[in-house]
A and B are shown apart, each in its own frame.
Chain A
Amino acid sequence: MKLFNGANIVLSEIPVLGVQLFREKIISQCQEGARLVNFFGHEEVDGGVRLFAFLGWDEDSEITVFSTRILADHPQYESLTKDLIQAHWFEREVAEQWAIIPEGHPWLKPLRYHANYRGKADIWPDVSSRPIPGSYSFYAVESPEVHEVGVGPVHAGIIEPGHFRFQCHGEEVMHLEIQLGYQHRGLELLMRGRDFKRSALLSEAIAGDTAVGHSIAHCEVVESLSGCVIPPKAQAIRAVALELERLSNHVGDLGAMSADVGFLPTSAYFGRMRGDYLNLLLALTGNRFGKGLCRPGGVLFDVDSQMAEEFCRKLKGYKKEFEDVSNLLFTKPSVLARFEGVGAISMENAKKIGLVGPAGRACRLERDVRIDYSSGFWQFSHIPISLAATGDVFGRALVRRQEVVRSLEFLLRILSSLPQGGIFVKPPALKPDSLALSLVEGWRGEIMHVGITDENGGFARYKIKDPSFHNWFGLSLAMRGQEISDFPLCNKSFNLSYCGHDL
């Protein structure tokens, strides 16, 4: 069954395949050029679990969806990860949420350390009551010359908790294992039900720095299921907010990367410029992170012509400023010496592990939801894709720089010709027993929300996927053979979300 971004479908129309065929179809389609964009389970009435696979065909702008049933008395299937590395994290998530064993999974560990959703015996005994890390095995290299360095979950800086376990030979990192889950809040369970006011608020809290991206994805799911078409002006304002969010984060990241290599001028300038974009979001929505703007049915704050002109005037100034400061950063030999060749991932590996967002585009993977699966305002106003070929820290910095410039051009274009009309229509009730999906290119990459409704039109299952879910493994891979002292820089160049991963 092929779907486009923002589509909805009656649940019973999604094909159900036999477990073996399901597995073979995923693997064969991924060999033909598709990629796994989502993979999750949903409990059925009889106690079994229906597994859904979403495969993205970037060039056709289509998403194939099919499913299989895992019976209650036989909670296992043959692991995909053996033949499809992209499925690694997804299968661990399914195993943890539904206590289903992917047989032959090479590294079956809990992701978030919570009890499963079905109230059955967990695959790992006491998974939710034992502290992380401690009781679960980490990949270890045994040799008297190899030493292990554990960082976190409490860090020296003000960042989110995560545990990083390095296997080092001298200064060289042989392997890095990342253990997250400290921020698990049970968001997918909280999103269930019919309280859409609450779910819109929750969606803004999935990842604090991607409030706009996740709330747009959530709104699109609700709008798709209710058949609500929002006014063009609301779509344009959402696009403005999403690009402002991207600008503030990309500029902030470039500043943080300068700070990590000890280059102070651009670190300070970019830090200040990030504030400029946040202030624009504040002017637009009343919140520096864009909370409270997007609600199912449209947006809550209008942009009048005076405000649009003011934004354009300011953005032109910011563009000039950004070009000057980024030239300073990208022409400094000592900075380039630190950026180039550090934390490189080959295009082939990036494809295998399914990198998305700027990290993927830095490896020349042409993946950008705004282009591949354009929805909302991006159907009318296009933005070019920004790619780099090196896949290293420099590539990730360069992609950010290009995206900032292109987002600014995009914003200047749409702000000078905003559509007229209303900004909100009240969405009708949701279709029962249906599934809707929404993809949004957040600043970190592909955000995907899938909502499945019950017979009353409330959410029976809500699946959230932050781009970090794909990319954390990329960070581990990027660190192989690197110096341990380059880890902070590598980490910053990915800048992944802990809470977006932990949900």
Chain B
Amino acid sequence: MVLLFSPFFLGVITRVKAFFGGRVGPSVFQPYFDLAKLFQKKCVYSHTTTWIFRAAPIVVFASVLAVSLMIPFGAFKAPVRFSGDIFLVAYLFGLARFFMIVAALDTGSSFEGMGASREAFFSCLSELTIFMNFVTLVLVAHQISLSGMIGAEIPLSWKLMGPTLLLVVSSFFIVILAENCRIPVDDPSTHLELTMIHEVMILDHSGVDLAYMLYGAAAKLFLFGGILVPILLPIHTGHGLMDTLIFVVGMLGIAIFIGLVESGMARLRLNRVTNLLLIAFALAFFGFIVRLWRG
């Protein structure tokens, strides 16, 4: 499911942005074509790189795939779920990022070094926010498992804990933008090495490696969306097809909303990104406080 739909998700965002730029834009299936093209290509390796550089794309892709097994889609429970899987989810993402950063440093390029340091810095802040949100959700649901947290009890929670969930959702949305290098944090469509964060780290990857990196990034965006949708649309009809449809509609809604945000505002200055992430953390923290106070 993740592998099938995640490039489509990206395609929708691009299409929405193109619409607001007064253009037609590429087909929503363009990311599939790009990936197909890259998978047919050979990789080029720099002489200065080591096995880390070669391993990174596989590790990134594998960890994102592993995470995808633990995230529930709409009303469906995740294939793998156990108490405490949220930690594994968070740290699998962490592992993916660690390898991406190390691979970027491995190239010895000054651009990639800059990208790596930015990524490391910003992810410190966004990781904190993710955990804050998870803690709140755990307190709301009394379960330490993603499937439990954002599963069946959410409709009930909206009635009891509306303000908390609202704060969690808005904080989590900012984290989605930051973690997946969207405007206002990073500009995925720029070609300027000096300003990029995520894109600059994968500059040296090519061919199949690049495809894994891009696929991994697309899947990550999709998974973050997948966590958000069940909280936002807690409708369970009990009917498999209906639930899938609701989930897909929710995902489309998020993609369109991300596209709207990207079209509607300019990118932040790099030194202001920390403020944005701190806002996200503050929202998460208030969500936590409200949860404790409402007891």
**Using a CB–CB distance below 8 Å, which chain A residues touch chain B?**
147-151, 156-157, 171, 258-265, 267-269, 272, 332, 334-335, 337-338, 342, 483-488
Contact = CB atoms under 8 A, between A and B. Distances in A.
B45 interface: no
8 contacts: A156-B192, A157-B191, A171-B270, A260-B190, A269-B22, A337-B266, A338-B268, A342-B269
A337 B22 contact: no
Nearest to A492: B192
B266 A262 contact: yes
B114 interface: yes
A298 to B, nearest CB: 40
Contact of A268 (B21, B111, B265, B271): B21
B195 to A, nearest CB: 4
Contacts of A485: 194-195, 269-270
B20 A262 contact: no
Contact of A263 (B22, B23, B265, B272): B265
Contacts of A335: 266
A210 B61 CA distance: 49
Contacts of A272: 22
Given A334-B266, A338-B266, A483-B270, A264 B21 contact: yes
Which A-B residue pairs are the 5 nearest by beta carbons?
A: A268-B21, A262-B267, A263-B266, A261-B266, A488-B192
Contacts of B265: 263, 332, 334
Given A265-B21, A265-B22, A332-B266, 7 more contacts: A149-B110, A157-B191, A260-B195, A262-B262, A485-B194, A486-B269, A487-B194
Contact of B194 (A262, A263, A488): A488
Interface centre among B20, B263, B267 (most CB of A within 10 A): B267
Contact of A338 (B23, B191, B263, B269): B269
Nearest to A268: B21
B184 A262 contact: yes
B195 A488 contact: yes
B271 to A, nearest CB: 6
A335 B110 CA distance: 28
Interface in B243-295: 262-263, 265-272
Nearest to A484: B194
B96 interface: no
Nearest to A157: B191
B177 to A, nearest CB: 12
Interface in B190-211: 190-195
Interface string B160-194: 00000000000000000000000110010111111
Contacts of A337: 266, 268-269, 272
Given A268-B23, A269-B22, A485-B195, A262 B269 contact: no
Contacts of B262: 262, 264
Given A148-B110, A157-B192, A262-B266, A483 B272 contact: no
B49 to A, nearest CB: 19
B25 to A, nearest CB: 10
Contacts of A259: 190
A267 B192 contact: no
B17 interface: yes
A261 B267 contact: yes
Contacts of B187: 262
Interface residues of B, number: 29
Contacts of B111: 149
A294 to B, nearest CB: 34
Contacts of B194: 149, 151, 484-485, 487-488
A483 B272 CA distance: 11
A140 B22 CA distance: 46
Contacts of B272: 337
Interface in B15-62: 17, 20-23
Contacts of A260: 190, 192, 195
A265 B263 CA distance: 7
B1 to A, nearest CB: 30
Nearest to B271: A483
A257 to B, nearest CB: 10
Contacts of B110: 147-150
Contacts of B195: 260, 485-488
A208 to B, nearest CB: 21
Interface centre among A261, A332, A483, A484 (most CB of B within 10 A): A261
Contacts of A268: 21-23
A157 B189 CA distance: 12
A224 to B, nearest CB: 43
A166 B10 CA distance: 35
A337 B269 CA distance: 8
A25 B231 CA distance: 77
B20 A149 contact: no
A100 to B, nearest CB: 37
A264 B194 CA distance: 19
Contacts of B113: 147
Contacts of A332: 265-266
A65 B99 CA distance: 64
A264 B267 contact: no
B109 to A, nearest CB: 10
A338 to B, nearest CB: 5
Contacts of B263: 264-265
Nearest to A272: B22
Contacts of B270: 171, 483, 485-486
A468 to B, nearest CB: 20
Interface string B129-151: 00000000000000000000000
Given A269-B22, A484-B114, A151 B193 contact: yes
